[in-house]
Structures are given as C-alpha cells and as structure tokens.
Amino acid sequence: MNQETSAERLARELDWNLLRTFLVIATSRSITDAADRLTLKQPTVSSALKRLEDRLGKQLVERKPGRFALTDAGKLLYDETIDIHGAILRLGTVMRNVENEVQGLVRIATASHVVCPLLDAALSDFHARHPRATLSIEAMASKDALAAVTARRVSFAVCLVKDLSPRLEYRRLFREYFGLFCGPTHALFGKTGVTMADLAGQSSVSFITDQMNDALRAVTLMRTEAQLDARIVGTSPNLEEVRRMIVAGLGIGPLPIHVVREDVEMGRLWRLPPFDAPPHVDVHVVWNPNARTNRAEATLLADLLDKIETTPMEQRIYA
C-alpha cells in the first residue's frame, strides 16, 4: 500500500470550519472584529486561528501592537480559500442537470444601470427558449462584481474592468461615451455657447471609481481638463444616485450619454462641454472559467458570447 502523502493527509484532516473562520479573519481589522462578525467569543476565534496555523505549519496573520495583517502564507491561503468557498456554495448547482430541459438559477452581477440592447436581447431570447430557468440580477460596484466572479458567487458579470486577472475570462460587450451634465437649478442649465472655461471652479459630483488609478480614468481626465473644483461634493458607485445628485443641483457630473438621452430630451439634464471627442469606457462580460456551472448558466453565457461574436463592434458602440 502506498504511503499517504502529507497533502492527502491534510485534505483528509483539515476542518473546513477553520478555513471559513479564516476567511472572516482575513477581511477583519482584528481578532475582536472577526469575533464580532462571527458572533463568537474572541478566545474561540484566536484558538481557531492557532489550530489552523499549527495544522499548516505557517504563520498566517502578523499580530503586533498597531498591526494586523496577513503574512505571505496567509495571502496565498486566502486566495485558495475563496475558491474553495465558492465551490462549496455552488455544490447544489451540479445536482440539477438530470433533466433534459434547461433549468437552474443564473446569477448575474452588473454595474449599475447597464443599458445595452444586445444584453437585453440575449436575456429575452434565453427566457423564450428556456422558461423554466430563472435569473437573478444584482447591481453593484464593478470591483465587487469582479470579486463575486472570482469567488464563484455569480455566473458572470457585466461591468467595467481596470486590470485583467489571469484567473478570469473577458469579452468586450459594448463601448459607451461619457459627457458632463448639470441639473435644472444649475446656473449653466439651458445656456448655449458654454465653453470649457465656464466650467472652471464649478462644484462636481461623480462615481467612486472616478479616479486616475481606477476604471473611469478617462472620465477623471475629462473632469481635470474642465478644471472643475477638485473637491467632489458627492460620490456614489450607483449611476442612478450620481444622476440624482446632478438633477438635484449638487454639481456638474459625468454620465453615459446614451443612458441619459431621454433625461436631456425631457429637460431633466443639460449637457455641457466637451462636445468633441468625449471619453469612452468599455463594458465587459466577465466569467470564471474554473467555475462549475449548471446548464442554464452555461447556456446563457454561451448565447451572450455568440451574440457578441456575431454583432460587429460598430453596432455595439453607444454614443
């Protein structure tokens, strides 16, 4: 009989509950904070971490006065544990493929207020052909949507992308262009002949991701060129809330031009310069190729990717 390897012994003896506790510890500010989130006593959580470190033979968390951070080993374990947690959450999906009819739950994470006729057509066609399948669509910040895909908590995401991860797959769904807008109570509302110089020093609102090192970098450059007041008076990850603040008169803000076209036509928003060469942002479909999917998830994603492949890019540019 072959001698049991240390890896096999670890897989047999390691308690999943220790890994579950470690996931919370890894995203907490302290052991006390983790204990509060787990509704456990602090010594219980400390003991669980100690048992896990002893079992692995590695220090996972550096704990010093004023410092609580994952070690390199802890960071590696955290990445692997996210995958394990996602696989466990999705165990139920692998048992639902015993019938010929496509059914199951498809979880989609989207950036707020994605307006894309091609996506709408894919959802409509999918429901018409597979009425027993169900959809769950949740709007969230793009970084949270990407985290959900990485952890296999959702089937796929439709969101902005800053950096490409080798663990995920990406396909550009559409391109949208951003403009600057103000609301009815703003001094520039309804005025023609407004120039970029007129925007200098004006208060502004924007998205949380409107930063030089984030997905809306092109929008940040547009705001900088307009010389808007550097202090942003209102931010949100949600497009509807940024729009609300602009309409309410808090300041000038960026919005996708095609999304708010009706608002402009109805007199709720007024577009400001720049009118030439507005910045663009690409929205992607993102999925985890290592996720185990049910038939509904696999079918909808394949249908959406097929629509992308067969629709020329110029028809997926919304300006």
Give per-10-residue mean pLDDT for the chain (319 aa).
Answer: 62 79 89 90 90 88 86 89 77 57 88 92 95 94 92 95 94 96 97 95 89 80 91 91 96 95 96 93 96 93 96 92
pLDDT for 151 equals 93
Predicted pLDDT of residue 309: 96
User: End-to-end CA distance of the chain, in Å?
Assistant: 68
Q: Which long-range contacts (CB under 8 A, 24 or more apart) does 16-21 make?
A: 16/84, 16/88, 17/48, 18/48, 18/51, 18/52, 18/55, 19/52, 19/77, 19/81, 19/84, 19/85, 20/85, 21/45, 21/48, 21/49, 21/52
Contact (CB, 8 A) for 59 and 53: yes
User: Which pLDDT score is estimated for 91?
Assistant: 67
Q: For residues 117 and 245, give the distance between their C-alpha atoms in angstroms, rounded to a whole number.
A: 26
The residues that bridge with 171 in the sheet, in sequence order, are 285
Residue 116 to residue 223: CA distance in whole angstroms: 25
Q: What are 146's two structure tokens?
A: 């990407």
Which of 64, 67, 23, 21 has the alpha carbon at shortest distance from 46?
Answer: 21
**How many angstroms separate the CA atoms of 151 and 26, rounded?**
15
Give the pLDDT confidence score for residue 153 in this predicted structure.
Answer: 94
Looking at residue 7, its pLDDT comes to 66
> What pTM value is reported for the model?
0.68
Q: Give the sign of the dihedral formed by CA 203, CA 204, CA 210, CA 212.
A: negative
What the block records as the tokens of 59 is: 């220090």
For 184, the 3-state DSSP assignment is coil
- In 3D space, the residue among 170, 31, 168, 23 whose CA is nearest the CA of residue 85 turns out to be 23
CA angle at 279 for the pair 276 and 283, rounded to the nearest 5° = 140
